[in-house]
Amino acid sequence: MSAKDILTIDDFDLKGKTVLVRVDINTPMDPEGNILDDMRIKSHMPTLVDLHEAKVVLLAHQSRPGKKDFTTMKAHAARMSQYLGREVKYVDDIFGTCAQNSISAMNNGDVILLENVRFYSEESLERSAAEHAQSHLVKKLFPYIDIFLNDAFAVSHRAHLSILGFTEILPTGAGRVMEKEILSLDRGIKGGARPCVFVLGGAKVDDSLKVAENVLTSGGADKVLFTGVVANIMLAASGIDIGKTNMDFIESQGYTEQIEKARNVLEKFSGKVSLPVDVALSDNGKRVEVQVEELPNGNLPIYDIGLETIVAFSKELKNAKTVVLNGPAGLSEMADFSLGTHEIIKAAINSEYSIAGGGHISAEIRNLGFEDNFSHLSTGGGACIDYLAGDMLPGVVALKEAAIKRKLTK
């Protein structure tokens, strides 16, 4: 799929129209309700700026039921107002009379943010677009809306009501965040400048193996470097005894069956996969580096890749034209074990085009102050890795189907 398969803001005459935009401004919040990281809020500013002649109704969620930060969107509206330079009015309602009256009273250029859509229990049900279109939420808001834009890439791997429900009955397109995500990730998996090197780390082993399989089979990647827990799985699959402590951890996470899948990747793509040659162990919090062949001699947990591996992987990245990072190389939140992740990040910015998946790796990049050095930082964690793995994201599929429908009816 590519951005050419979907409609964007540029395909609509938006002046004077009422535009419903599904955004993802789900943010970390402290117990007092203060926003701790507003990266996602800032990411939607280009969309809002380009809609300055429209009446903009924002639909969003914060956390989920049962979580301590499952709260209203009031703080989000205030923060959006600061960045936009004009009021984003918070409306304490999702689709009732208050929401309807607020939409009816809007003038061109107005922006309102409706209440947390997950306060409505049907939002999180996994259903088809046609089924969601029959919900109370869609039926109540539909008469007031002219166009629907999905700008919430990070939630578009979910077949949720606010992602799909309006796509069946309204002209539908993508906001700037969604458009940029698709264009950028496609450049990573469909081949931009070569060579293209992926670095897959973190603890989402099954997802990483799917991504590796996808990009190596399609020819999107020339090489995949493995770090993090997924590298431990790959080492075990290659015949390395990684020690009882590390095998016990793999078993505790339910990843034992992934070893066979990792073995298949190694056999199928021999020469296109690189594994650590040394690792950093934690000896009561102290960094101890050993060659992978020496692992059986101790019983310590692997917390990072070793210096020799860091040098070799960094060289690969510096020679690459396109780099895609997903997941940290180790326990980067611990100072003694952040070296691998930080050096990989520094090496990646030397490439012509650099992409980082959402979640932990993007947070590390921002913490290091390298956000502007990357060509693209994804706003989505699960959505990003699903897209890289070749999975069909329900929200993106709905955009494609809406574009086809519009072309057929013109």
User: How large a percentage of the chain has pLDDT more than 90?
Assistant: 93
Which pLDDT belongs to residue 2? 46
Taking 80 as the threshold, does the pLDDT of residue 191 lie above it? no
The fourth-level CATH superfamily of domain 3-181+392-409 is Phosphoglycerate kinase, N-terminal domain (3.40.50.1260)
pTM value is: 0.93
Binding site annotation covers 100?
A: no
Binding site annotation covers 44?
A: no
Q: Say if CB 380 and CB 157 are below 8 A apart.
A: yes
Which pLDDT belongs to residue 1? 45
Across the range 331-357, mean pLDDT stands at: 95
Binding site annotation covers 333?
A: yes
Which pLDDT belongs to residue 126? 96
Taking 90 as the threshold, does the pLDDT of residue 53 lie above it? yes
| pLDDT confidence bin for 372, thresholds 50/70/90 | very high
Binding site annotation covers 344?
A: no
| pLDDT confidence bin for 190, thresholds 50/70/90 | confident
Which pLDDT belongs to residue 407? 77
Which pLDDT belongs to residue 410? 60
Which pLDDT belongs to residue 193? 87
Binding site annotation covers 187?
A: no
Which pLDDT belongs to residue 312? 98
Binding site annotation covers 361?
A: yes
Binding site annotation covers 367?
A: no
Region 194-351: CATH code:
3.40.50.1260
Q: What mean pLDDT, rounded, does the chain reach?
A: 95
Tokens found for residue 204: 């989402």
Binding site annotation covers 25?
A: yes
Binding site annotation covers 254?
A: no
Dmax over CA atoms of the chain, in Å, equals 72
Binding site annotation covers 62?
A: yes
Binding site annotation covers 64?
A: yes
Task: Write out the residue limits of the CATH 3.40.50.1260 domain(s) in the chain.
Answer: 3-181+392-409, 194-351
Q: HEC states along the chain?
A: CCHHHCCEHHHCCCCCCEEEEECCCCCCECCCCCECCCHHHHHCHHHHHHCCCCEEEEECCCCCCCCCCCCCCHHHHHHHHHHHCCCEEECCCCCCHHHHHHHHCCCCCCEEECCCHHHCHHHHCCCCHHHHCCCHHHHHHHHHCCEEEECCHHHCCCCCHHHHHHHHCCCEEECHHHHHHHHHHHHHHCCCCCCEEEEECCCCHHHHHHHHHHHHHHCCCCEEEECHHHHHHHHHHCCCCCCHHHHHHHHHCCCCCHHHHHHHHHHHCCCCEECCCEEEEEECCEEEEEEHHHHHHCCCCEEEECHHHHHHHHHHHHCCCEEEEECCCCCCCCHHHCHHHHHHHHHHCCCCEEEECCCHHHHHHHHHCCHHHCCEECCCCHHHHHHHCCCCCHHHHHHHHHHHHHHHHC
How many residues would you count in the chain?
A: 410
Binding site annotation covers 61?
A: yes
Match 């993106």 to its residue by tokens. Answer: 396
User: How large a percentage of the chain has pLDDT more than 70?
Assistant: 98
Across the range 297-305, mean pLDDT stands at: 91
Across the range 80-104, mean pLDDT stands at: 98
